[in-house]
Chain A
Amino acid sequence: MTISPDNIVLWSWGPVSLNGTLLYSWIVMLLLVGNSWLITRPLSSSTSISRWQTLLEVLIIGVRDQIQEVSHQKPGRYLPFIGTLFLFIGTSNLLTIVPGFIPPTSSLSTTTALAICVFLAVPLYGITYEGPLNYLKHYTRPTLLMLPFNIIGEISRTVALAVRLYGNIMSGTVIVAILISLTPFFFPIVMQLLGLLTGMIQAYIFAILAMVYIASATSAHHREANGLPEKEQATSNETQERS
């Protein structure tokens, strides 16, 4: 019983070894890159477009809208990073239903790498958007006393991001493996359906949380300056009156 695809060594040559995680992540990457390349060759803006182009357009527009709603900023700057996170995690979690495919996200190495990408992207976006001084001032909000707690929070939320994705996907695969040995054929399929649902939700949540962290580093004082949009203010007033 292997708990992670890291332990599946498929091929080793001296110090270099190819384990399951590497192979499966490369498969996912090749799928994404190859398909995107194939689909974007015959792009057209005419009235009759291919189904695949429609699929890509739906995906891109969906991700753009979500980024817009979460961050209240123009989505173009964040679209490549967030969209890549979502597509990679989503694809690798979708492919769990292929027999013999172990999702690379069920290994702590992959999820840690993704979380570190987010951890590095937050200050990068923050500093390019506001300058280093303003970005560093975020850590002293609301007072200077909160500085250590903000730093601890920054690290712990990264760890949580990695372990959340890893735990969800790993638990799905492990539960299915255990059930197949106990009650074959029907019950594991139900759990796999549940695993598909949680996998897609986890991909969505990973991308949204990355966006939330980046947005909090880039737009905190903008929102304070502009205040809420009128609609939100009205609803918040209503809820206050109700309660």
Chain B
Amino acid sequence: MENFSLIGMISIITAGLTIAIGSIGPAIGEGRAVAQALTAIAQQPDEAGTITRTLFVGLAMVESTAIYCFVVSMILIFANPFWDYTVSQAGG
């Protein structure tokens, strides 16, 4: 049963590290983007619509990197293929 504990342990640690490290970059990037957008809106309130739309599209692009990390960690915890394989081997 050493395989079980090893795979479970590594999966959980990796999932935590993935979401922790993977959310630092997008958070900094989005913060900068929002700050710049606020500055731009303060300078030109007339263009608020265009700026906001572009900001949302850009934020979605940046956000997707964090989402990838989240998906990977979710897969590691809830739908881990190696875990399923070892369980099936042990059961069968």
The interface of chain A, by Cβ under 8 A from chain B, is: 1, 3, 66, 69-70, 160, 163-164, 166-168, 170-171, 174, 201-202, 204-205, 208-209, 212, 235
Contacts and interface: CB of A to CB of B under 8 A. Distances in A.
Nearest to B72: A167
Interface string B40-60: 000010010110010011001
Q: Which of A167, A201, A202, A209 has the most CB of B within 10 A?
A: A167
Given A1-B78, A69-B50, A205 B57 contact: yes
Interface of B: 44, 47, 49-50, 53, 56-57, 60-61, 63-64, 67-68, 70-71, 74, 78-79
Given A3-B78, A171-B74, A208-B53, A164 B60 contact: yes
Given A205-B57, A208-B57, A167 B47 contact: no
B26 to A, nearest CB: 12
A212 to B, nearest CB: 7
Contacts of B60: 164, 201-202, 205, 209
Contacts of B63: 164, 168
Q: Which of A69, A164, A212 has the most CB of B within 10 A?
A: A164
B22 to A, nearest CB: 12
B57 A235 contact: no
Nearest to B69: A167
Contacts of B79: 3
B56 A205 contact: yes
Contacts of A70: 53
A170 B64 contact: no
Contacts of B44: 235
Contact of B56 (A3, A163, A204, A235): A204
A212 B53 CA distance: 12
